[in-house]
Copies of this chain bind each other. A is one copy, B any other.
Amino acid sequence: MKKILIVDDDAELRMSLSEILKGAGYLTDEAASGNEAITKIFSEDFDIALLDLMMPGMNGIEALKEIRMIGPKPKAIMITAFATIDNAVDAIKKGASDYISKPFKMDELLTTIRRVLEEASFESSIKKLDIEHTMISLSNPIRRNIMRMLNTMPGMRLMEICRELGIEEHTKVVFHMKMLKESGIIEQDKEKAYSLTKEGEKAMDFLKALDNYL
């Protein structure tokens, strides 16, 4: 069940939106101001925030900025009575997922919500895949050692790595190099020299952190 936070200073509008969204199968909560919204988002997990652009006190854009400081959730849909291209562009740049202008048909809003939710679930499945890859690579001691070596001595070649690891059968190392390549953790240049990718460096940070904490 997806949770939607409705942020608007107009209590009536909040109520009617809430009714309709509940009817469409969503859980809803309301906030009358940007500040209230941020407090709620801090303590509770929402999938979507409907943000009115024009509110007394903290306006929608400012609220959005604060929300993005907290984390990637919730996705934001901006709503405004005075739509301008500039406003829209600005909102999207600041991390809003979509932008709707009043007056809007309920259908329109529901469609937008569905689309945004779908995008979000797609994103998060991508993310999961990535973690999966990274973890699988990190889960093997040989691969961890290879990563450590490439971290301190980038540009090593296959046989050097074998010797350094004290592994006779080079094919074993080939196997692990392949996995690391497929996970996008290492890469090879035309000279066959291996080094960490950007992703690999991130993963190394993770490894180092683990190493240090003991």
| Chain A residues packing against B (C-beta within 8 Å) | 71-72, 126-128, 130-132, 134-136, 138-139, 141, 144, 202, 206, 209-214
Partner among B71, B127, B128, B135 whose Cβ is within 8 Å of the Cβ of A138: B135
Q: Check A139 against B138 for contact (C-beta < 8 Å).
A: yes
Partner among B72, B136, B141, B206 whose Cβ is within 8 Å of the Cβ of A210: B206
Q: Check A131 against B211 for contact (C-beta < 8 Å).
A: yes
Chain B residues lying within 8 Å of A72, measured Cβ to Cβ, are 212
Report the Cα distance A134→B212, complex, angstroms.
Answer: 13
Partner among B138, B144, B206, B214 whose Cβ is within 8 Å of the Cβ of A209: B206
Q: Would you list 7 pairs from A and B whose C-beta atoms are within 8 A, ordered by A residue?
A: A126-B214, A128-B141, A131-B144, A134-B210, A135-B144, A206-B210, A209-B209
Nearest residue (CB) in B for A202 is: B213
The smallest beta-carbon distance between A119 and chain B, in angstroms, is: 14
Chain B residues lying within 8 Å of A128, measured Cβ to Cβ, are 141
Report the Cα distance A209→B210, complex, angstroms.
Answer: 11
- Identify which of A134, A136, A139 gathers the most chain B CB atoms within 10 Å of its CB: A139
13 additional A-B pairs beyond A134-B210, A138-B138, A138-B139, beta carbons within 8 Å, are: A71-B212, A72-B212, A127-B214, A128-B141, A131-B144, A131-B210, A131-B211, A135-B139, A135-B144, A135-B210, A206-B206, A206-B210, A209-B209
Report the Cα distance A126→B72, complex, angstroms.
Answer: 36
The smallest beta-carbon distance between A95 and chain B, in angstroms, is: 14
Chain B residues lying within 8 Å of A213, measured Cβ to Cβ, are 202, 206
